Amino acid sequence: MRASRNAIIVAAVVAIVGILISGAIAGYAGRGRTPLSPGLDGTRATALNVAARRIQTSGADAAEFLDSFRAGEPGNALNHYLLAAAYARRGGWAAATAAMQDGNRAPHCLNYADPLPFVRDRTAVSIVRTLREEFEDAALSRPGAEAGKALHEGRTMATRIARAEPPSLYALEAGVSLRHGIAQATGNLAQKAGEDWRTDLARQEEKADAVFLRKVRAERQALFDTGGALHPDRLREKYGLTEADAAALAAGEPPPDADRRTQEAIAAEWDAAERAAVSRLLSQMPD
């Protein structure tokens, strides 16, 4: 009996160790890399951005497809936000607001991306970012209560996009830019209604978002513009890349002449720099 019990205990320990080792392996991109973010998934990134492009090609008619798409992963807020964008583009603000509410209640906001940070499709975030004009129109043309509710849910949506995983300066800038536009639209709506206190509050939010947006853009430029740590010319010099490699990086593609180890080294540096910048900025983001 004792031998049998010991055998069971040993088997359990072996199973647990196996699970831990598997988890450790799965959680790392490669030797020397930091644990993978839950949003790093090339297959899901492709599916997400293909869905987003439906809005570009089909416009408001993409809503039916996107409703089906979000049902495949209802826990990801960004899927709901894409549906909201499709509805907003055709002026269906009741449905758009409902979709934003669903997204704001979702447990995660995952802007899926390829594990190699220089291979990133930004269509999904770009689509939501362009809603700024729709929100401004809604503030001027929709009934006050309906517009106010949409703007409230929209600001929460924009904040979640700014904080999306994996950390991204592009998503952060897109979210803050949308927040700034929504604050401006909220101020216009409150001013139209003669609500001075609400107008003042919205103008304060608009000003704070504008200041923060400049910080985000300055940080992005410091990393990616000429002379920045992640500018293709600087990476070419540091890693001995070819001109074709630098051109590919500038276009958001893998460097064709670089071996896998070099690509992973660039990815590790890129991840670390961008994550640090986003973390630093998010700690300063206004409410």
Residues 189, 164 share a domain: yes
Q: Which domain holds residue 186?
A: 42-114+122-224
Same domain? 64 vs 129: yes
The residue from 224, 241, 256 where one domain ends is 224
- Establish if 14 belongs to a structural domain: no
Instruction: Indicate if 208 and 142 belong to the same structural domain.
Output: yes
DSSP string, the chain: -HHHHHHHHHHHHHHHHHHHHHHHHHTBSSTTPPBPPTTB-HHHHHHHHHHHHHHHHHGGGGHHHHHHHHHT-TTBHHHHHHHHHHHHHTT-HHHHHHHHHHHHHSSB-B--B-SSTTS---HHHHHHHTTHHHHHHHHHHS-HHHHHHHHHHHHHHHHHHHTPBSP-HHHHHHHHHHHHHHHHHHHHHHHHTT-HHHHHHHHHHHHHHHHHHHHHHHHHHHHHSTTSTT-HHHHHHHHT--HHHHHHHHTTS--TTS-HHHHHHHHHHHHHHHHHHHHHHHTT---
Q: What is the pLDDT of residue 143?
A: 86
Last residue of a domain, one of 191, 224, 257: 224
Is 203 part of a structural domain of the chain? yes
Tokens of 158: 């924009």
- Give a yes or no: residue 173 inside a domain: yes
Q: Which of 171, 193, 224 is the last residue of a domain?
A: 224
Mean pLDDT score, 117-136: 89
148 and 248 fall within a common domain = no
40-64 tens-digit pLDDT: 899 999 999 999 999 988 877 899 9
Quote the pLDDT of residue 256. Answer: 94
One domain for residues 206 and 269:
no
Q: How many domains does the chain have?
A: 2
- pLDDT higher than threshold 60 for residue 253: yes
**Residue 21 belongs to some domain of the structure:** no
Inform me whether the pLDDT recorded for 20 exceeds 60. Answer: no
Q: Are residues 149 and 189 in the same domain?
A: yes
Both 98 and 236 in one domain: the answer is no
